[in-house]
Structure 1
Amino acid sequence: MKNIIVASLAFLTFNFSVHSADKLSLSHSVWTKEVHQLATSGVAKKGKKLARKCDSCHGDNGVSEDNETPSLAGQKPAYTFKQIYDYQHKIRKNKTMYKKVKKLSYQQMADIAAWYSTQKGEKRLGKNPPQMVISGDKARFLIGCDMCHNPNVMTGGFQVPILEGQKIEYLIETMTAFKEDDRENDEYSVMRDIAKLLSDEEIEKIAKYYAAKPIIEDE
């Protein structure tokens, strides 16, 4: 279990080795200073045009109307950049997303990420956060979710997304995917190690807190 704590600290650290701009090191486990600068310096105006092909799934201005499709509005640009990169290189596997992003340049990825970061998402948190959000569980060597995902004290760079206002079903699906090793693009296996120790009930409570709204049932 101690590996979880070590990994949690390790994944917060960036590798700041120097590479030339035309040879950016985009390894899914090593993010250089140059990559970080690129990922967070996109041009939102250009990204708006590129993101039009994303609207059908992720909604106008990045607010999804589908329960199983994430909203991208207001998300940290570095996180969005990494997810696009991971889809393009099949580190995060999804055939639809791969087809959408396979021809994007790194600059275009940054521009799209910049556009979505400027949009207003549905930011709401539940009133009564569950124990796992606040303090975790020392017996299982689990830190509270808010240690990383607190919207007011965001840490983790590329790795930690903003969760508030996200779709409940998507959050449950994502945590379950990490738990069952169906998603593997978390650095140092941090989320997989954590999710494996969570019960289905705990996952649902965490998702409901961050989403802070009921699931919309399909008619």
Structure 2
Amino acid sequence: MQRTIRLSLWLAVPLALFIPAISALAQSGGGAAPPAGNPLALNFKTPDPAHGKEISQSCQGCHGVGLASTNTDIPGLAGQHSSYTRLQLAAFRAKLRPGEVMWQQAANLSDQDIADIAAYAGGLQPGPAWKADDEAVRAKGEALFHMGDSKRNIIACAICHGDNGRGDDRLGVASITNLSPKYGEEILHEFKNAPGYGIPHPDAMRIILRPMNDDDLKAVATYISSMQK
């Protein structure tokens, strides 16, 4: 239980402590100083994707060439919304999200570096689809993703993430198209098992996933990993 809580803290602690940062992270910077003591609010000028590409070369060792992951344990960053990537990198840099490797990688990034990397990643197309090992499982995941299951009070994932899984940058909804399957399944379990925080995004995921069993989560992860064949 302690391990579950520790791993899930990143889903809500940054939001609970620093709600004002979310709007700041969604902005393009503008040169305004971030609120004092807020490690998630970034101060940056217009992002430079070319610089982001240059400094993200080291990221490709784990996240794949062109930030399209080929490791099922690691998420691809290609095509992820800039505001979401900025938030995650800021959370890693502040050690609010668990992950010692990412703590080390993010430690020396400036606010501008974070914005530039996010802009570069956001301008890429999501990585290629992963091969689904079981088409019946994939078909089940597809049905749950697009239609849900009203008899079991399961809400369709597409309502927030869209039919194409690309999410909505304005609403802070992540792109999950072709997300690596093992990572996708793990993160779904993490959201489902997170304690209630009363914070919109993680709580929405927790509530939506509550009626789903392990087979459902595996099916959804299988589908989103292979959405765009």
TM-score by length of 1: 0.72
Equivalent pair of 1:148/1:156 in contact (CA under 8 Å): no
Equivalent pair of 2:52/2:116 in contact (CA under 8 Å): yes
Equivalent pair of 1:132/1:206 in contact (CA under 8 Å): yes
In structure 2, the residue matched to 1:166 is 179
One-letter identity of the residue aligned with 1:200? D
In structure 1, the residue matched to 2:87 is 82
Equivalent pair of 1:41/1:114 in contact (CA under 8 Å): no
In structure 1, the residue matched to 2:8 is none
Q: CA deviation at 1:203?
A: 0.6
Within the candidate set 133, 151, 156, 1:144 is matched to 156
TM-score by length of 2: 0.69
In structure 2, the residue matched to 1:20 is none
Distance in 2 (CA, whole Å) between partners of 1:138 and 1:30 is 36
Deviations 1:137-189 (A, max 9, x none): 4455542100111137733636322112121111111111222339x998452
The verdict on how the C-alpha distance between 1:112 and 1:188 changes in structure 2, with shifts beyond 3 A counting, is same
The verdict on how the C-alpha distance between 1:95 and 1:208 changes in structure 2, with shifts beyond 3 A counting, is same
Deviations 1:175-211 (A, max 9, x none): 11222339x9984522233333321111111111111
One-letter identity of the residue aligned with 1:194? I
Q: Tell me the SS of whatever aligns to 1:38.
A: coil
One-letter identity of the residue aligned with 1:35? L
Equivalent pair of 1:28/1:86 in contact (CA under 8 Å): no
1:54 aligns with 2:66: no
The verdict on how the C-alpha distance between 1:159 and 1:139 changes in structure 2, with shifts beyond 3 A counting, is farther
Deviations 1:12-49 (A, max 9, x none): xxxxxxxxxxxxxx964334544312279521011112
In structure 1, the residue matched to 2:147 is 135
In structure 2, the residue matched to 1:42 is 47
RMSD: 3.2
In structure 2, the residue matched to 1:18 is none
In structure 2, the residue matched to 1:17 is none
The verdict on how the C-alpha distance between 1:198 and 1:90 changes in structure 2, with shifts beyond 3 A counting, is farther
Greater displacement, 26-35 / 67-76: 26-35
Equivalent pair of 1:186/1:192 in contact (CA under 8 Å): no
Q: Tell me the SS of whatever aligns to 1:197.
A: coil
Q: Tell me the SS of whatever aligns to 1:163.
A: coil
Distance in 2 (CA, whole Å) between partners of 1:106 and 1:205 is 38
The verdict on how the C-alpha distance between 1:55 and 1:188 changes in structure 2, with shifts beyond 3 A counting, is closer
Distance in 1 (CA, whole Å) between partners of 2:200 and 2:92 is 13
In structure 2, the residue matched to 1:114 is 119
The verdict on how the C-alpha distance between 1:157 and 1:92 changes in structure 2, with shifts beyond 3 A counting, is farther
The verdict on how the C-alpha distance between 1:107 and 1:186 changes in structure 2, with shifts beyond 3 A counting, is farther
Greater displacement, 121-130 / 54-63: 121-130
Distance in 1 (CA, whole Å) between partners of 2:58 and 2:93 is 16
More helix by share: 2
In structure 2, the residue matched to 1:10 is none
